[in-house]
Amino acid sequence: MTQKFRLENGGLINRDKKLSFKFNGKTYFGYEGDTLASALIANGVHLVGRSFKYHRPRGFFGAGVDEPYAIVQLYRNNETEPNIKATEQELFEGLEAKSVNCWPSVNFDIGAINNFLKIFLPAGFYYKTFMWPKSFWYRVYEPFIRKAAGLGVASTKHDKERYEHKYEYCDLLIAGSGPSGLASAYAAAKNGARVILAEDKPRFGGSLLTSDVNIGNQSGEDWANSIISELKEMPNVVVKNRSQVFGYYDHNMLVMSEKVSDHLPKTKKHHPKQRLWYIRAKEVLISSGSIERPLVFGNNDTPGVMLSSAAKEYLKVYGVLVGKNPLVFTNNDSGYETAIEFKKNGINPIILDSRVNPQSEIVNEAINLGIKIKFSYVVVAAQGYKKVSSADIAKISDDKKQLDTIENIKCDCICVSGFWTPTIHLASQSGNKTKFKEEIDAFVPGTSKQNETTLGAANGIFTLEETLKDSFIAGQDLSKKITNNDNKISFPNVVEKKSSQHDKFWCVPLPKGKSYKRFLDFQNDVAVSDIEIALKEGYRSIEHVKRYTTLGMATDQGKTSNLNGLQLVSDIENKVVPAVGHTTFRPPYTPISIGAIVGREVGKHSKPTRKSPMHSWHEKNNAVFVDAGVWLRPRYYKQGSETLFEASKREAKNVRTNVGVCDVTTLGKIDIKGPDAAELLNRVYTNAWLKLPVGKARYGVMLREDGIVMDDGTTTRISENHYHMTTTTAQAANVLSHLEYYLQLVWPELNVNVVSTTEQWAGAAIAGPKSRKLLQKLFPNNDVSNEGLPFMGYMESDLFGVKARIFRISFSGELAYEVNVESDNGHFMWEKIIELGQEFQVQPYGTEALSTLRIEMGHVAGSELDGRTISYDTSLEGLISKKKDFIGKRSLNREAFTSGDRQKIVGVVPLDKKTSIPEGSHLVKDAQAPLPNKKLGHISASCWSVEHDNPFSLAILKDGKNMIGEKLFVMSPLKNKVIPVEIVSSHYVDPKGERVRS
Amino acid sequence: MLHIKCPYCGMRSQNEFSYGGDASVKRPELNKEISDEEWDNFVYNRKSLRGKHLELWQHLSGCRQWIKVERDTATHEIFNTFKADEEIS
Ligand SMILES: [Zn+2]
């Protein structure tokens, strides 16, 4: 198929490289340098989608980021992506795209029935229509809306593409490479400032690529190219195309999305698909230009009605005609520029100008070229369903209220220009309170809030000469402040055509007896009548009108609709636009892919992975790992075809009968030094610490100020002023911050230093009745007898030439020791333990067996210390000193903490001694009680007791102290289980704690 | 993302810090008899100010010092930062 709407010559596309692509299953051809939109228009395709609410046919309205309609589903390299603007997507060989928001097809769309049942979807239709009856919401309304609405389908597959984040600092960030961006970047760069110049399109130059101007005896485009090539050579300048600065955040941080690979058939090896730049800039120059404003008339959403600037861009950049019989409808001189471009390419446009008698260089040029112009004329309505086929036009009275006789003229497109709206989104996001500029009927940035300066069209300056002058000066002055250089740049000679005043007219009145829909917001299907209804119903604040009607919402953020919407509200309310005010501009300015936001923090990379020095040994010995905080810990060591249950039972049993060794490197360790170290511990822990002798360890519990248990662990006195604290794996970082808080802010008079040594020491717990014999083998020169190294004792020694610390402490309730060596020697230590332990049947055990051992002993851990329990609840109240004050003590006499039936830890055994109890289940008195069944407590941890060979659980139970011996029910609605149980002591094994002391 | 000047390390990005709440809260002295109300005020009750607020931040991924930051809670403007023991006039 030929590209019937492609000009023979012209445009910035590469005609030597023809590309094939598919749209809705049909194959077309375009050229390198096309967008999907320009290539489709070149092939005469104007119907690309259906509108959001009424499912009216949708074509192209813009040529870039301003496009409200042409949103497609893209297929690239076996991946699919929704919400892609055809006007921004660059063409590549093999590109495939499909229409969205239409079912079953773009040409025959069921939802279009909404269009003929207009009453069905007025303003606020979601709020009104789908409210009643309530039961209909899930069954009828929601599925209907989900099927009928939406702008594409997100892929459910794992995204294999790579996205990167980059942090950058610069002196000046310049957003937009039009005339103001180029001039300010050039001046600042010449002054030695570190500059980042960002352009969202593939080509630099902005409006210079399409306007008929001359700078320094070069065409606008040539001047732009020469400036860009010079900037690219400078070491202090970063020039980025396909890069949208979409958000202005606090403290001059901006975020930019760089589309690195989206324009290629597939991402190159070692390249990301997109890159998100976090840029902290000393100064920000906003040169984001302006977007043409639509004119509002009947059926102004018909495919073929588009912005006149877009028509000009398709012509000049892509060599594409949006129509061969164009009508230009304008209230200012910009429409003339488009008409002149048509005329120069052999097309005869007709201009309808709402103005009575405009006089300017451009108007005269159009007249001289023989273009047919009708002054005081307007388009009343576009005709044609899937494409404009004609226009109803009429002469309009000077007060713009009365229409004369309506005539119909044939045309295949209507190019509209309602003057220009500065793109002030970034300035507004920075906190700049915008102001209304009467001369251009639009908002421009007011006083700068952060270090931002808005230039050129974005600042409401529409002449090239003034724009360039301002921008050179801004670039020079701002960079001078930073670099102290003062290189003057000679100002180039500028030739441009002078424009005349635009007409404030923006909305064509409805002719008598007609009820055409006149659209304001093209993306969200908001028409004049919707705003009228909202105001009639009492909505006044523009923010409320926005939400009720959806005006200016969603991905479009009111790019084309904002001002006309405000204009309408102010007309009806008889206010001026600034009194109505505008809605908040929120980042992102354009949609950003979730992948880019997430960056590389996906899956395993979402947090660091810490491995102990013994990790490789565990791997070699079939360890199955589990995440413990950021650590990977062996959960169990699989032998043959063992299950988790079988393996952990074997490992735990071996600890109870022989000896086991567990990697405890992950426990938090904090080194505490200083003359006041004992005093700090005494204030941090609930028990007494001042009298702990050197060479002894003590178990301690620390509270938060609100009395809740924060963490537990042992701390050992290494020497007079030196302590070694251990914390749980999970709380290690919080405990360190906690200590630092009190030392730095609350008690700075304490002379103590704390530092994390978690990763400096490798730890192995050796537990079981034969552990002493094994220890003796490891340290043959030490007396490790019960007298030489008693329970809670500590000694320093030498493990075959390696410095070692030996603690007689126990997690498992068995006779146990913990050996620490410097991390580098961890692997050596572990292998020695395994080697010398062979004769005692040593086996490594993982976290699952460790849990079993501690649960049946009634030792509390993370699942009991859950941020809701106090010492009493976990039977740690014996460690509360009555003699001294400590963190959180004052909270302990709170009413709830001292009530007689306070919750307490208990043991739970199923009556059948067989059924395992799911963790998290509730304990209830009566399994048959009507819902909601009163919960008495919950199961915090479960295991299979290796000592008793039956299931055993710990629970936090109301009035637990008096519940021992009671029969209750465990209910787990999740697992659909009801289990009759008996409440027993939490100390299920060795209740007197004799083994650890043996 | 805020840009916070650590008095020890200089300008750093917010993600190196953790927030520590109202810096004007003073922990009651140890072993001092105080009313329930006083204690509750220390543990739970905080003003939610709009405007200038003196607050604590810890330079967690830096020097690990707790610092005081004078920040506007509405605009995020940071007026000044102080070392923990610095006199604030
Ligand atoms: Zn610091």
Model pLDDT, residue A115? 60
CA distances from A528 to A99, A533, A535, A837 (A): 27, 9, 11, 85
Minimum distance, in Å, between the CA of residue B44 and any CA atom of chain A: 8
Backbone conformation region of residue A549, classed left if phi is above 0, alpha if psi is from -120 to 50, else beta? alpha
Alpha-carbon distance A857 to A310, whole Å?
A: 76
Domain edges within chain B:
3-25+37-83
| Minimum-distance CB partner of B76 among A250, A683, A706 | A250
Alpha-carbon distance A569 to A521, whole Å?
A: 14
Q: Give the global pTM.
A: 0.89
Positive/negative CA dihedral, A458, A462, A467, A468: positive
Q: A963, A855, A986: which is closest to A919 by C-alpha?
A: A855
Average pLDDT, integer, range A676-684: 98
The beta-strand segments (E) located in A33-144 are 49-50, 57-58, 71-76, 79-85, 95-99
Chain B CB contacts of A744 under 8 Å are: 65-66, 84
Tell me: pLDDT of A138 over 90.
no
DSSP calls for A846-870: -HHHHHHHHHHHT---TTTSSSS--
Single residue among A72, A100, A125 that ends a domain in this structure: A125
List all residues 6 or more positions away from A749 whose beta carbon is below 8 Å from its beta carbon. Answer: none
A601 Cα–ligand 1 center, Å: 25
CA gyration radius for chain B?
14
User: Could you tell me the pLDDT band of residue A431, with boundaries at 50, 70 and 90?
Assistant: very high
Alpha-carbon distance A819 to A766, whole Å?
A: 8
Q: Say which residue, A562 or A176, is predicted with more confidence.
A: A176
Same domain, A457 and A525: no
Q: A896, A948, A957, A899: which is closest to A924 by C-alpha?
A: A957
DSSP calls for A884-941: S--TTGGGGGSHHHH-TT--EEEEEEETTS-PPPPTTPEEES-TTSPSSPPP-EEEEE
Model pLDDT, residue A119? 47
Note whether residue A596 is domain-resident. yes
Query: For residues A710 and A700, is the Cβ–Cβ distance under 8 A?
Result: no
Under DSSP, is residue A721 helix (H, G, I), strand (E, B) or coil? coil
- Which amino acid, residue A963? M
Same domain, A391 and A460: no
Chain A CB contacts of B60 under 8 Å are: 737
Average pLDDT, integer, range A130-151: 58
Two tokens at A498?
A: 């002078």
Per-residue model confidence as pLDDT tens digits over A3-18: 999 999 999 999 999 9
Under DSSP, is residue A311 helix (H, G, I), strand (E, B) or coil? helix
- Which amino acid, residue B46? R
- A interface residues, B as partner, C-beta within 8 Å: 167, 249-253, 278, 280, 431, 683, 705-706, 737, 740-741, 744-746, 748, 884-886, 890-891
Tell me phi and psi for residue A73, to 5 degrees.
-95, 125
Tell me: pLDDT of A253 over 90.
yes
Two tokens at A422?
A: 């500065």
Same domain, A688 and A787: yes
- Whether omega before B7 lies within 30 degrees of 0, making that bond cis, reads no
A747 Cα–ligand 1 center, Å: 20
Chain B CB contacts of A737 under 8 Å are: 18, 58, 60
Task: Kindly report the average pLDDT of chain A as a whole number.
Answer: 93
The number of beta carbons lying within 10 Å of the beta carbon of residue A530 is: 28
Determine the residue of chain B that is closest to A755 in CA distance. B64
- Which amino acid, residue A363? V
| Residue ranges making up the domain that contains A588 | 519-604
CA distances from B36 to A684, A705, A883, A900, B27 (A): 21, 13, 20, 20, 14
CATH code assigned at A47: 3.10.20.440
CATH code assigned at A577: 1.10.10
Same domain, A283 and A302: no
Tell me: pLDDT of A1 over 60.
no
Return the half-sphere exposure (C-beta side, CA atoms, 13 A cut-off) of residue A530.
28
**Residue carrying the six token digits 């009605």:** A305
Same domain, A353 and A305: yes
Least trusted range by pLDDT, from A28-32, A220-224, A431-435, B38-42? A431-435
Note whether residue A252 is domain-resident. yes
Query: For residues A851 and A657, is the Cβ–Cβ distance under 8 A?
Result: no
CA angle A895, A896, A901 (to 5 degrees): 110
A754 Cα–ligand 1 center, Å: 16
Same domain, A674 and A702: yes
CATH code assigned at A322: 3.50.50.60
Q: Say which residue, A551 or A952, is predicted with more confidence.
A: A952
- Whether omega before A634 lies within 30 degrees of 0, making that bond cis, reads no
Query: For residues A379 and A508, is the Cβ–Cβ distance under 8 A?
Result: yes
Single residue among A460, A495, A530 that ends a domain in this structure: A495
Alpha-carbon distance A194 to A179, whole Å?
A: 19
Number of domains in chain A: 5
- The beta-carbon contacts of A130-139 under 8 Å, at least 24 apart in sequence, are none
Model pLDDT, residue A53? 73
Same domain, A277 and A309: no
The number of beta carbons lying within 10 Å of the beta carbon of residue A374 is: 17
Burial readout A692-714 (b: 16 or more C-beta within 10 A, e: otherwise): beeebbbbbbbbbbbbbbbbbbb
Average pLDDT, integer, range A707-731: 96
Residue B85 near chain A (CB below 8 Å): yes
Across the interface, whether the CB atoms of B66 and A746 are under 8 A apart is answered no
Model pLDDT, residue A147? 55
Alpha-carbon distance A382 to A384, whole Å?
A: 7
Two tokens at A399?
A: 């007060």
B59 Cα–ligand 1 center, Å: 5
Q: A654, A185, A211, A140: which is closest to A455 by C-alpha?
A: A185
- The beta-carbon contacts of A977-982 under 8 Å, at least 24 apart in sequence, are A977/A915, A977/A918, A977/A921, A978/A927, A979/A910, A979/A911, A979/A915, A979/A917, A979/A921, A980/A910, A980/A911, A980/A912, A980/A927, A981/A908, A981/A909, A981/A910, A981/A911, A981/A917, A981/A923, A982/A908, A982/A909, A982/A911
Helix axes A361-368, A334-344, angle to 10 degrees: 30
Tell me phi and psi for residue A653, to 5 degrees.
-60, -40
Tell me phi and psi for residue A904, to 5 degrees.
-150, 155
Per-residue model confidence as pLDDT tens digits over A432-488: 999 999 999 999 999 999 999 999 999 999 999 999 999 999 999 999 999 999 998
Single residue among A102, A125, A148 that ends a domain in this structure: A125
Compute the count of residue pairs across chains A and B with CB atoms less than 8 Å apart.
Answer: 51
Sort strands A290-292 and A435-437 into parallel, antiparallel or unpaired: unpaired
Neighbour-count burial of A797, counting CB atoms closer than 10 A to its CB (0-12 exposed, 13-18 middle, 19+ buried): middle
Task: Give residue A937's Cα distance to chain centre.
Answer: 38
B56 Cα–ligand 1 center, Å: 13
Average pLDDT, integer, range A629-653: 96
Minimum distance, in Å, between the CA of residue B24 and any CA atom of chain A: 11
Burial readout A984-993 (b: 16 or more C-beta within 10 A, e: otherwise): bebbbbbeee
- Residue A32: enclosing H or E segment and its boundaries? strand A26-32
Tell me: pLDDT of A145 over 80.
no
Model pLDDT, residue A103? 55
Note whether residue A976 is domain-resident. no
Alpha-carbon distance A15 to A311, whole Å?
A: 20
Chain B CB contacts of A167 under 8 Å are: 13
Start-end of H helices in A599-731: 615-620, 644-657, 677-684
**Residue carrying the six token digits 């402040």:** A481
Query: For residues A427 and A455, is the Cβ–Cβ distance under 8 A?
Result: no
Average pLDDT, integer, range A338-352: 97
Model pLDDT, residue A559? 86
Same domain, A733 and A825: yes
Q: A507, A509, A519: which is closest to A302 by C-alpha?
A: A519
Residue B39 near chain A (CB below 8 Å): yes
Positive/negative CA dihedral, A577, A583, A588, A590: negative
Q: A470, A482, A430: which is closest to A170 by C-alpha?
A: A482
The DSSP secondary-structure symbol of A996 reads: G
Same domain, A190 and A222: yes
| Minimum-distance CB partner of B1 among A253, A706, A748 | A253
Alpha-carbon distance A383 to A363, whole Å?
A: 28
Model pLDDT, residue A573? 87
Bridge partners (DSSP) of residue A197 are A174, A239
| Minimum-distance CB partner of B65 among A167, A278, A744 | A744
Same domain, A223 and A271: yes
Tell me: pLDDT of A158 over 50.
yes
Per-residue model confidence as pLDDT tens digits over A276-324: 999 999 999 999 999 999 999 999 999 999 999 999 999 999 999 999 9
Same domain, A681 and A744: yes
Across the interface, whether the CB atoms of B75 and A741 are under 8 A apart is answered no
Average pLDDT, integer, range A759-777: 98
Class level of CATH domain B3-25+37-83: alpha beta
Same domain, A686 and A807: yes
Under DSSP, is residue A664 helix (H, G, I), strand (E, B) or coil? coil
